[in-house]
Amino acid sequence: MMRPILLALTALLAPALVALSLAVAPSVRRRGAPAAALTILASLASFGAAVALLFEHSARLTVPWLRTGARVIAEVGVNVDGVSTSMLVVVTFVALCVQVFSLGYMHDESPPAFGRYFAYHALFLFSMNLLVLAPNLLQLFAGWELVGVTSYLLIGFYYKKPSAAHAAVKAFWVTKFADMGFLFGLLTLFVATGSFSFNVALTPPVAVAVTLLFFLAVVGKSAQFPLHVWLPDAMEGPTPVSALLHAATMVAAGVFLVVRADPLFAQAESTRTVMLVVGVGTALFAALLALVQTDIKKVLAYSTCSQLGYMIAALGAGSMLGGFFHLTTHAFFKALLFLAAGSIIHAVGSNELSKMGGLARRMPVTFAAFTIGALSLAAVPGFSGFFSKDLVLEAVAGKLGSIPLALLVATAFLTAFYMGRVLVVAFLGAPSSDEAAHAHEAGWSMKLPLLALAALSLVAGFFAAPFAKLHGQAYHFHFGGVAAVGTAAGLLGLVLAYTLSSARIARATRAVSELARGSAVDRFYEYSFRRVTLVLSDSLAWVDRYVVDGMINLLGYRTIDAGRGMRPLQTGMAPDYVLAVVVGAASLAAWTVLR
């Protein structure tokens, strides 16, 4: 009984202690390197404890926190079971990789900034672990909020850049708006059942209300349409932060909430249908937007929205395993992609794909890592993304007349296509800038995490069966029709990206001969691509930018205007104030009588 608890507390408190000591000892923090060392040690301890927990049985320790009379209303503590342990391993591992990578990536920062960066990381890991190990929804909510604050600090790390400060505020604002749903959900759940447990029986209307409210928070945190607008902007943060927050942890927290509260969601079939629709819609919509991005991080950002859509769709289809397993593999390969992109940006000094090209020969490790990540994301058989995406597709098969399945297969095609495009443009062909021509691989602190994550992206898929066992489910892989269709879509996308783009690169260099050589198929592809997909994507980007984003901004500005509109009431004249007091009192009394 004691051992799992001690391990869980280690995982939770090691980063907390470091964060606290860095907060109270600015002299250590401002020297930079010691802060980084402490933070990485804490993450190592957390990760070690998390791995050890995989071999322990379930356990639970709670301390009463709030009580009325003899009744305990809320508890805090740690909850060790299959769900929390596997999430803990993912979170601590990715955090560790990202922190080691940051040693190299953030090397040029001044020591105080370097130390501050790692202090935020320690705080973030604590918040995330608090959320993951929560024994009830109240503690999960506290962790959830703290993750929001810390992400604000991390996204706004380059706070001297106005766009970064703005992005941080926007991310905070949008997710906070969505968090209202969480709070309402908690209150409703508490009033209905008197507890914050994730596993209580509810009456059908309450179940739908509570889960829909929770889902609103998930939409914000996991960047689902229409609250996805903050995620692309949040790319203003340092690239390792994007790898941590926007691949593996913060955005996954939303999905984790649904997994954690699965017993509640299982009681609300209509919420699940909403989730399926929103998930599939976001997957397709974000994939289309990823097509037209020219910034490598924005491609990955929209791709994250899209993949989160897959997870939400799987959970909406009732497959907890599918959603959660895709979360796990996605955490590995998307963190890998972001870190590899960080390695490129570090070498080239720009996020723009047009400044890259020909990097395969100059940065072989990064190339290999990015390729493994991309192939995994494209769900090529054998790579981890294939197994998890297959689980998602199997889960949605047959739901709502197979429309979700068809759309997700189409998305799989688009995913492979845009990842193929990035691979080709960034790594193949000739360098498009001086920086790209002289790019070189960074030191081991940046290569090692890439290799570790690449290894996991390669093999994680084969651990589906033990993963399922952790959650008390069975998993047997079979290569059925769904898998075949999904694979075909993915491969088609990759091949198309390769042929189309190499043709375009060729045309850029030898425009004349290209015209002569261009086959009818090429032209057809390109025509249909330009006329249909690109127009569609561009118009969607327009809608996204001006309509969805605009509405959200409008809401903000209207609120400020409402505040300004009330200002003239405050005249500054004492007689007016006295009058207001008297009139106020009189109308209150009148209201009492007439009510």
Site residues for another protein per CB under 8 A: 23, 26, 64-68, 142-143, 145-146, 149, 156, 159-160, 165, 169, 172-173, 176-177, 180, 183-184, 187-188, 190-191, 556, 559-560, 562-564, 566-567, 570, 572, 574, 576-578, 580-585, 588-589, 591-593, 595
Q: What is the rounded CA–CA span in Å between residue 353 and residue 294? A: 6
Q: What is the rounded CA–CA span in Å between residue 169 and residue 167? A: 5
Residue closer to another protein, measured from CB, 241 or 456: 241
Which DSSP letter does residue 295 get?
A: B
Residue closer to another protein, measured from CB, 37 or 583: 583
Residue closer to another protein, measured from CB, 16 or 59: 16
CB of 103 to another protein, least distance (A): 24
CB of 9 to another protein, least distance (A): 15
Residue closer to another protein, measured from CB, 54 or 187: 187
CB of 188 to another protein, least distance (A): 8
User: Which residues pair with residue 76 across a beta bridge?
Assistant: 63
Check: CB of residue 236 under 8 Å from CB of residue 157: no
Q: DSSP string covering 333-381, please?
A: HHHHHHHHHHHHHHHHS--BGGG---HHHH-HHHHHHHHHHHHHHTT-T
Residue closer to another protein, measured from CB, 142 or 292: 142
CB-side exposure of 351: number of CA atoms within 13 Å? 16
The two structure tokens encoding residue 487: 């694979």
CB of 398 to another protein, least distance (A): 39
Residue closer to another protein, measured from CB, 65 or 498: 65
Residue 457, H or E segment: helix 444-459
CB of 20 to another protein, least distance (A): 10
CB of 164 to another protein, least distance (A): 9
The amino acid at residue 399 is K
User: Phi/psi at 79 (nearest 5 deg)?
Assistant: -130, 115
User: Which residues pair with residue 75 across a beta bridge?
Assistant: 64
Residue closer to another protein, measured from CB, 465 or 582: 582
Residue closer to another protein, measured from CB, 14 or 392: 14
Check: CB of residue 365 under 8 Å from CB of residue 447: yes
Which DSSP letter does residue 460 get?
A: G
Residue closer to another protein, measured from CB, 476 or 595: 595
Neighbours of 500 (CB within 10 A): 18
Q: What is the rounded CA–CA span in Å between residue 425 and residue 42? A: 39
CB of 342 to another protein, least distance (A): 23
Residue closer to another protein, measured from CB, 227 or 363: 227
CB of 295 to another protein, least distance (A): 23
CB of 22 to another protein, least distance (A): 12
CB of 125 to another protein, least distance (A): 15
For residue 249, give the nearest of 184, 318, 308 by alpha carbon: 308
Residue closer to another protein, measured from CB, 205 or 364: 205
Q: What is the rounded CA–CA span in Å between residue 524 and residue 298? A: 28
Residue 79: strand, helix, or coil: strand
Q: What is the rounded CA–CA span in Å between residue 499 and residue 437? A: 23
CB of 329 to another protein, least distance (A): 31
User: Which residues pair with residue 60 across a beta bridge?
Assistant: 79
User: Phi/psi at 491 (nearest 5 deg)?
Assistant: -65, -40
Q: What is the rounded CA–CA span in Å between residue 342 and residue 240? A: 7
Residue 477: strand, helix, or coil: coil
The amino acid at residue 500 is L
Check: CB of residue 344 under 8 Å from CB of residue 356: yes
Residue closer to another protein, measured from CB, 155 or 425: 155
The amino acid at residue 88 is L
Q: What is the rounded CA–CA span in Å between residue 318 and residue 395? A: 7
ω before 111 within 30° of 0 (cis)? no
CB of 378 to another protein, least distance (A): 39
